[in-house]
Amino acid sequence: MADKDSYDLVVIGSGPGGYVASIRGAQMGMNVALVERNKVGGVCLNYGCMPTKALLKNAEVLSLFQRSKEFGITLDNLRADFSKAVDRSRKVATRLSKGVEYLLKKNKIDLIRGTARFHSHSAPTRLNEKGYPQGQEETKIGITDEKGKDIREIAGRNIIIATGSRSKSMPGVNIDGKRIITSNEAMVLKDLPESMIILGGGAIGVEFAYIFAIYGVKVTIIEMLPHILPIEDSEITAILGRSFKKIGIDIMTGYRVEGVTTGGKGLKVRLSSAKGASEEKESDIVLMAIGREPNSEEIGLKEMNITIKKGYIKVNTRMETDVTGIYAIGDVVGHPLLAHAAMAEGITAVETIAGKERTMPDRLNIPSCTYSHPQVASVGLSEEEAKKRGYDIKIGRFPVRANGKAVAMGEIDGMIKIISDAKNEEILGAHIIGPEATELIGEIVLAKSLKLTPSDISKTVHAHPTLSEMIMEASSAIYEDAI
């Protein structure tokens, strides 16, 4: 398409939130530009969600080969080439990124390569026949190339900021991309180290711990908080910890990193515990996985008087900033830093622009998923959080090892845990660890969103034998009538 100067909607950033917002805008008749300085699809498609799932699948397949005797299969000279797994994951990422580019082209969205920065803004005062703000009152955005050279200037009557996030570091630790790395470098390691220390036991750290451990790397996870996956229910993470120890992963919780230094052939990580004890651990590589921070600098937010707190852009439930016509979505607005949340936020922002009554779903109805093995998935409150909020709760649990389908699959580690309000039967939270947990959580998210009760689930006939029967049984267990 020919270059234009003015658009109904300009989206900055082509990650899951950005490309979904762009496509939804085009579907609603808007003239849309999408600005991207790197690869289409953002971190998720290129260095996050999708390529890690490809690596995890390779690890799961290798794990099955390692357990082949359980299935009556004997193997000799089993060899695993991690570089081939990396190659496959890069092909997955490239294919998906090109797929998104095709969707943008199909929807007649102008993809502008470069870095965006706000130049000026004037609040719109009237609407056109489509109901979108119009007139000279537009936000002007400058586009520069990778060297900082001005390429062009465009204007948008509405702007959606979807600039995402990047790996967070810590004071005194220099990420060199070779020995101290982030998830971006971990994704493309061709030569595996003998040992690795992962700083941070959140979803990113846990997923990479599983991948590298299965490929024979001696992995240690260091987590400052009392348990890995700190946002998850502690009963669930205890099961994950036991499962990880079976495959040789060391987990050190309650330790703070004081520094990382080069020592001999490897790296030395200095630690201090909550009790005041100090310790030192050595490894060949350190993977920084302590979280992510927003990409909110250098795009002119302060000059636009957009409110920012700790780097995150302040928005309301319609994803509006406090500047008319400017919206923000995804990691740059803060918790939860999840691709599916960004997608929902993108649609919410666009439909708000179009004048539709739409707000973001309750944050407690957005699922959290960790694709380790076993998988972990949850929605709503943990047991600890429900008690902290003063709820009188009832809990239904069902062990994975009691499910026929799971036993047949040879996947018996795990549990489903459903927490309900004892007074009105409302589902407060649900937590799953075990096979296909990230797929199973969808049923409970739907039930919770529609305000169904565990009784409603328990009375719903589930196919047999299936993993989903565990949800029915855990729901029944709340009333002490699980079969």
CA dist 340 and 427 (Å) reads 21
Residues 286, 169 contacting (CB under 8 angstroms): no
Residues 390, 419 contacting (CB under 8 angstroms): no
CA dist 210 and 449 (Å) reads 32
Distance of CA 208 to the CA centre of its chain: 14
Residues 7, 26 contacting (CB under 8 angstroms): no
Active site residues: 464
Helix (H, G, I), strand (E, B) or coil at 36: strand
CA dist 400 and 407 (Å) reads 8
Residue 147 amino acid letter: K
Give the dihedral sign, CA 207/208/209/211. positive
CA dist 209 and 251 (Å) reads 10
Residues 6+ apart with CB under 8 A from 53: 92, 371
Report DSSP state, residue 398.
Answer: E
CA dist 230 and 200 (Å) reads 10
For 190, phi then psi, to 5°, come to -95, -35
Block residue for tokens 């490897």 = 266
Residue 135 amino acid letter: G
Length of the chain: 483
For 206, phi then psi, to 5°, come to -65, -45
The token pair at 349 is 């922002």
CA dist 177 and 229 (Å) reads 25
Angle among Cα 205, 206, 212 to the nearest 5 degrees reads 85
